[in-house]
Amino acid sequence: MASVLVTAAVATAVAAVPTASTAGAGKPPNFLVILVDDQASNTFNSRFMPETYRSIVDPGTKFVDGLAAPPLCCPDRAGILTGQYPHDSGVFSNSPGYPSLADQEDTLPVWLRRGGYRTGFIGKFLNNSIGALAGAKAPGFDRWFATDNASYYYNYGISDQRTRRSYGNNRHSYTTNVFTRQARQFLNPQQHGPKPWFLWLAYNAPHDAHQGRGHCKRLDPLVNRPADYRRFAQAKLPRPPSFNEADVSDKPPPIASLPTLSLNEYDNMTRRYRCTAAAMWEVDQKIGGIMRSLRRTGALQNTIVFYMSDNGYFFGEHRLTRGKALPYEPALRVPYAVRVPPIYRDAAQHPVVGKVVSNVDVAPTILDYAGALPPCASATDCRVLDGRSIRPLLGGSGEWPADRGVLAEIDSNAATYDAIRTHNYIYAEYPSGDRELYDLKTDGSELNNVVDDPAFAATRLSLAQRLEALRHCSGTAGPLACE
């Protein structure tokens, strides 16, 4: 059950959030969560996103084992909103999506608002939320500006507070531009006064457009300015060892039956990669402008910034020409960086951290920095958080599990499985009885499924037992701990 409705559970829920240190206690931090849609790690670098690296990644921490748990839009976003895995949040799939979210009145913006924060959401929310909310704002948000069709960069509708607005086909209506303008209005100090704020800015780039424009076709991200596409018109599609994998016979039937990639598929993926890079360049430039504005107003010194993608994407790895959802690294491992101002740190941030973190850690981390706020909508309505605060990995004090395991669970048309991802291994079980085990220490490209290798029998058994426990886990302490 997602939330507990008895007073005794409040103590458990509060205990799941580590106590904040005294650093920065005089002024609660602001929080800016920037989420993009379907960005794989292959476009998250300083060449494609120089402003983001300059203002967030380089002065912050890049998590090279940052995961989307699971790697699918709506369940991932539900994890950010609740700090819980799907079996606790209720959201296993994009459909029905938001209507399946348990206790919609008990979420991160509600908790922050109770703690004195001004809250805002701009961009793409959970799938099917606009219809389910029937024109209302999602609970907890003071400012609400959400698109009703995440696939469209032009010709889309917006739920603006309680008003329906429509945007057209001109460059001014391009979603990246519109969302950025709204974000900058929210961040104007005259809008929020002395209150600390939380803004979730969710761009729909680089999601498939289902529209065509210029060089980019119907199943590509759309680019607003032809010059942005020309900047990357010669970019070469990355070809890691898993690209067009020579032998997929060790994988479950849906993958084992895939043919090798054709020249036409290669050309389509190359075009999509270039459109992705160009779309992300536009996002990057807008992020740079937002960060410079925060610096000019003095807010940056009190603002913790997250940059993440809700899942990765396939570009030919394991012969997969598109999509996400599957428990392979190109989908599961995502761009993930956090910048914490010195006032809220006990030590310098490490530029690169290899510990396993995920989307369900965002809410506990924010509550921790906000002053150990409880994940409670009222004195008797609280969630028990499955994620944990990553503050110890960001120059803060505290312990971190030695061999953390993150749960990825999906039940959708795209895929159905349960998987555990540790730093060294990924182990997955499917309803068909198929299983996969990859040793990421020696096989980071997941070319050799060792699930039936006798040398890995003990590892397989241990991971299977841990996975079974994760399926029913709740919180980070006690016999049901999500570890």
What is the average pLDDT across 10-27?
Answer: 46
Residue 15 lies in a domain: no
Residue 477 lies in a domain: no
pLDDT in tens, 109-143: 999 999 999 999 999 999 999 999 998 999 999 99
Share of the chain above pLDDT 70, in %: 94
* Spatial contact of 4 and 376, defined as CB atoms under 8 Å apart: no
Give the pLDDT of residue 21.
Answer: 40
pLDDT bracket for residue 151 (50, 70, 90): confident
Residue 481 lies in a domain: no
Closest-CA residue to 297 (of 305, 286, 289): 289
Residue 38 lies in a domain: yes
185-189, 208-212, 328-332, 429-433, range with the lowest pLDDT: 208-212
Neighbour tally for 105: CB within 10 Å: 12
Report the CATH number that the domain containing residue 84 is assigned in CATH.
3.40.720.10
pLDDT in tens, 198-234: 999 999 999 999 888 889 998 999 999 999 999 999 9
Whether the per-residue pLDDT at 7 is higher than 60: the answer is no
Whether the per-residue pLDDT at 95 is higher than 90: the answer is yes
pLDDT in tens, 447-460: 999 999 999 999 99
Give the pLDDT of residue 148.
Answer: 78
pLDDT bracket for residue 153 (50, 70, 90): very high
**Exposed/middle/buried for residue 346 (C-beta within 10 Å: 0-12, 13-18, 19+):** middle
Give the pLDDT of residue 8.
Answer: 39
Residue 67 lies in a domain: yes
pLDDT in tens, 265-312: 999 999 999 999 999 999 999 999 999 999 999 999 999 999 999 999
More confident residue, 181 or 414: 181
pLDDT bracket for residue 54 (50, 70, 90): very high
Residue 302 lies in a domain: yes
Q: Which domain holds residue 288?
A: 29-401
Residue 359 lies in a domain: yes
Give the pLDDT of residue 427.
Answer: 98
Residue 442 lies in a domain: no
pLDDT in tens, 337-384: 999 999 999 999 999 999 999 999 999 999 999 999 999 999 999 999
Whether this prediction's pTM lies above 0.85 is answered by yes
Give the pLDDT of residue 442.
Answer: 98
Share of the chain above pLDDT 90, in %: 90
Q: How many domains does the chain have?
A: 1
